[in-house]
Amino acid sequence: MRVPARYSTWFAALALSTSAFAQTPAQPSAAVADGTVSASFRIIIQGRPVGTEDVSVISLDGRTVIRSTGGIEGGNFSLRSAEIVYGPGLAPQRMSMEMAVRGQQQTVETTFTQTTATSTITQGEAVDTKTDTVSPSTVIFPNNVFGAVEGLARRLVTMSAGETLPVYGKGDQVRDWLFVEDHVRALQAVFERGRVGRTYNVGGNNEKQNIEVVQAVCAILDRLRPRGDGKSYAEQIGYVADRPGHDKRYAIDASRIRDELGWEPAETFETGIEKTVAWYLANEAWWRPLVEAKASERRGIAA
């Protein structure tokens, strides 16, 4: 299973100042079924993506554990191992990390209550204990967000070049799609009217199979920018081997934000994807050089 990118936000606490270690890590959006699955996180340190990290996500009797085994490097910082334990209700209970900061080995053990985060930081023979107040917060969990500047450009380059558009398995994995402007309206509603300490799920009421999404994009391109040979872009769809453990369906219950804050999505999938494709076609001069530059970047590290 590949955990959604929102899980990766807990790595944001790994800054080069130990004062950041006592902050409450971001909560997962839902507990996984009992057992252990592997996952990949996108790692961001001080706002800079530095790669991905394989982790284990373990769930048993209401406890969820996210465990990393190191390999993260970022400037003067390297993470040897990390573990975050969430209790019933996905409340953070404990976080432990082993790392090197500017060459100095450190261990950080943090325990959480509803109001405080207490960290014991050990560096050599020095031990520092500090307790921070956990700021009241409101949490939002969106589903798959789509719209301008969200990754469609790479697919359009593939399609315009006549290359095969790969679809995993049968393309029957289901996702609920949320248009980005509806997401922003939800953020504003929660900011203005949401209750502190409350969690709000934000869904678009647009469950679609992946193949339906691809076919919709192809159909729009057939109308707005037809292929020179008169054929449909759908003929470029190619099915590839499915990812091991690929999630069959993502679903979300957004009734709370609707009932408490009066928010509902204004866009359907059909209106949102039409606006998204049209935006990319109108702004190709901006995004194409960025995609091509990204494609030419050096991958990996020489042996």
pLDDT tens-digit profile of 140-177?
A: 888 889 888 666 777 777 787 788 889 999 999 999 99
Q: Are residues 95 and 191 in the same domain?
A: no
Instruction: Classify residue 215: in a domain, yes or no.
Output: yes
pLDDT in tens, 176-210: 999 999 999 999 999 899 987 788 999 999 999 99
- Domain of residue 221 covers 139-295
Instruction: Classify residue 302: in a domain, yes or no.
Output: no
Q: Which of 38, 36, 97, 39 is nearest to 72 (CA)?
A: 97
pLDDT at 82: 75
Domain count, the chain: 2
Average pLDDT for residues 260-267, to the nearest whole number? 95
Final residue of a domain: which of 133, 162, 191?
133
Query: Could you give the CA distance from residue 294 to residue 48 in angstroms, rounded to a whole number?
Result: 16
pLDDT at 8: 30
Q: Are residues 243 and 159 in the same domain?
A: yes
Instruction: Classify residue 303: in a domain, yes or no.
Output: no
Residue 138: band (very low, low, confident or very high) from pLDDT cuts 50, 70, 90: confident
- Other Cβ atoms less than 10 A from the Cβ of 274: the count is 18
Residue 66: band (very low, low, confident or very high) from pLDDT cuts 50, 70, 90: low
The pLDDT > 90 percentage for the chain reads: 30
Alpha-carbon dihedral sign for residues 249, 166, 36, 74: negative
pLDDT in tens, 76-135: 667 777 777 777 666 677 888 887 777 788 888 888 777 777 888 888 778 888 887 766
Radius of gyration in angstroms for the set of CA atoms belonging to the chain, rounded to a whole number: 22
Final residue of a domain: which of 133, 157, 179?
133
- Other Cβ atoms less than 10 A from the Cβ of 8: the count is 20
pLDDT at 23: 36
Q: Are residues 145 and 261 in the same domain?
A: yes
Q: Are residues 24 and 167 in the same domain?
A: no
pLDDT at 106: 85
Q: Are residues 104 and 154 in the same domain?
A: no
Q: Are residues 163 and 121 in the same domain?
A: no
Q: Are residues 129 and 143 in the same domain?
A: no
- Mean of pLDDT over the chain: 75
Query: Could you give the CA distance from residue 296 to residue 52 in angstroms, rounded to a whole number?
Result: 19
Instruction: Classify residue 300: in a domain, yes or no.
Output: no
- Other Cβ atoms less than 10 A from the Cβ of 199: the count is 18
pLDDT at 124: 77
pLDDT in tens, 219-236: 999 999 999 999 999 999
